[in-house]
Amino acid sequence: MNRNLSGILSKLLASASLLAASTVFAAGNTSAEQSQYLEESRKVAQEFMQTLGGTLKKQLALGGAESAIGVCKEIAPALANEYSKNGRVVKRVSLKNRNPVQGVPDAWEQNVLAGFDLAQQQGKPLSGMEVSTVRDEADGRWFRYMKAIPTQAMCLQCHGQPSDISEGVRALLLKEYPQDKAVGYSEGQVRGAISIKRLLEVMPVTD
């Protein structure tokens, strides 16, 4: 990471850590905690996307798309880690993911992403498109939240049609992400979602 980028990153992380203070869930309570987690998730999603989007825009203007690949490659996962605290897990996922590990949606996330795509195709606005629920999963009861991430014009130079992507960017992406699926998008489509989950209760073992 170059010095400029790491300077930006440390500033970002300092502000992100303000969010670290959050309450521990008391088993048995439901709706009050759930609405609190919904509010918290909305706040995290908004801050995450604003921080990342702002940094990306700056780096694109400063050094162009090739240099900005580092923002997505290093800062996005660093921010996700920074926000993943106190039982909260934050990721960015997509049906056509670039990150071959963190970008892969689980079965529930796949359904939600397909629902977001459908809603977008039906003309629903992407801003504020979100889902939240409480789910019993194999390892416990989870609060789950997802918010759609719209494809903006500035995203196309790394996620657009072949004609939107320069030779240099294409070569770097191929090198870093040989299994990249995150291309072929147009402005206004759902690029993916921010997905936030929080363990509410560990399931009792049944046999």
Chain positions contacting ligand HEC, by CB under 6 A: 53, 56, 65, 68-69, 72-73, 76-77, 92, 94, 97-99, 102-103, 149, 151-152, 154-155, 157-159, 182, 191-192
Q: How far is the CB of 10 from ligand HEC (least distance, A)?
A: 19
* 3-state per-residue secondary structure call for the chain: CCHHHHHHHHHHHHHHHHHHCCCCCCCCCCHHHHHHHHHHHHHHHHHHHHHHHHHHHHHHHHHHHHHHHHHHHHHHHHHHHHHCCCCEEEEEECCCCCCCCCCCCCHHHHHHHHHHHHHHHCCCCCCCCEEEEEEEECCEEEEEEEEEEECCHHHHHHHCCHHHCCHHHHHHHHHHCCCCCCCCCCCCCEEEEEEEEEEEECCCCCC
Q: How far is the CB of 39 from ligand HEC (least distance, A)?
A: 23
Among residues 52 and 200, whose Cβ is nearest to ligand HEC? 52
Q: How far is the CB of 30 from ligand HEC (least distance, A)?
A: 31
CA distance 207 to 204: 10
Among residues 34 and 108, whose Cβ is nearest to ligand HEC? 108
Among residues 132 and 152, whose Cβ is nearest to ligand HEC? 152
Q: How far is the CB of 20 from ligand HEC (least distance, A)?
A: 22
Among residues 22 and 152, whose Cβ is nearest to ligand HEC? 152
Q: How far is the CB of 201 from ligand HEC (least distance, A)?
A: 29
Among residues 33 and 180, whose Cβ is nearest to ligand HEC? 180
